[in-house]
Amino acid sequence: MTPAPAAAPSADVPPRPTSHAPEETPASAAARASTDMLESATAVEPVQAQATHEAQRAEAHAAAAQETAAQEHAAQAARVSGTPGAPPPGFGAPPDFDTVRPPPPGSVAPTPPAYLRQNDSAWTVLGRTIAARARQLFDRAGQRITQRTLRIGVSARIFHPEPGARGLRGKTLQYLEESVAHWVMSRDVMVFMIPTVGHQGMLHPSNIRLRDYAKHLDGLLLQGGADVSPQTYAASDMRAEWPGDRVRDMYELELLYEFVESGKPVLGVCRGCQLINVAFGGTLYQDIATEVPTAGIHVNEFYDQHRHSVRFPDGSSLASMFPGRREAVVNSIHHQAVKTLGRDLNVEAVSSADGLIEAVRYRRAPFVVGVQWHPEFHRAGGPELLDCTPLLDAFLRSARETRF
């Protein structure tokens, strides 16, 4: 059957444009259909957001770079124009420790301080600094040492037990007379009584020896008391009532030797003066009235109230301690006296009336002096008696100078 001819187009209807798009295949149609589904929209959104975020970051970096470049350009312009308050060149740049930067031209070369010597070097300045520091440390240490209170030891008087006695009279007592301790303490020093030591018959044995006291104390005072035994200076007893105290002799002789060996000063009072003489080989009158009948009275019932005059020989240390005084009044409480002078001893004072030796000094030591009178009783005896403070001060000065 023959097809009917096409109808002619009407003049009032515009012609339909002809599409040149390729014909859609079944596969592309299926893919397009899949993107139109709801699930495909959620899968596309994250990819788009990430792309937007990266774009914003890139824009921020670019803006920051432009701002930094503008600031550097402004800073450079300010430095060139000399604007006050502008940062110095290189401000904000990382430090460079390897580049050598010489001083700018025309700068003044560094000069040493004016107080330094011209020939000073770093080593000489360092040496003087160390020496000054060492002197400061030594001065501080010396100040602490010299300001330490002196410690003076006093030998003990000994009370021996009475046979058959009860209580304290049946015990051995060691003690010191109060006035001698207070006399030494009056110069603001500490006083320690030194007890006897030994192994024989000790209820509580100890390894402490008298040399330990000589090591730790600064000086020794031998106080008065009982007679020195004639056996100590190789003599026989003239009378039974004058046996002396042999036990105390041996204790004080060892004490004296230890302090002399240590270079520490020793001051002997009354019996102490006699013991110093015996220690160096001298002898004693066991009783002045018996052996020297022409001598004056050196002891009576008035005890420390009895007194007589003494004289200081020229050149003696006592004469220098009491300048302008050739004679002085002292108390007298002794019935024994120096007879034969010990070796290396000088006579420091004699009795004005009879010439008996009243004071001695050992010349091979800084200070070993003995006086026959009791200086600790003089202040209570009145202004007539010799003020023996210069003697005590000389003893303590020697203690301070020789204690190390």
Helices (H), 82-169: 122-146
* Packing angle, helices 271-279 and 246-261, rounded to 10: 70
Angle in degrees, CA 256, 260, 266, rounded to 5: 65
Cα separation, 226 vs 281, whole angstroms: 20
Closest CA to 272 of 208, 403, 177: 177
Catalytic residues: 270, 374, 376
* Phi-psi group of 66: left, alpha or beta (phi > 0 → left; psi -120 to 50 → alpha; rest → beta): alpha
d(CA 79, CA 67) in angstroms, rounded, equals 18
Q: What is the Cα–Cα distance from 146 to 400, expressed in whole angstroms?
A: 7
**Sequence-separated (6 or more) residues with CB below 8 Å from residue 248:** 157, 158, 225, 226
CA distance 193 to 256: 14
Strands 345-351 and 357-362: antiparallel
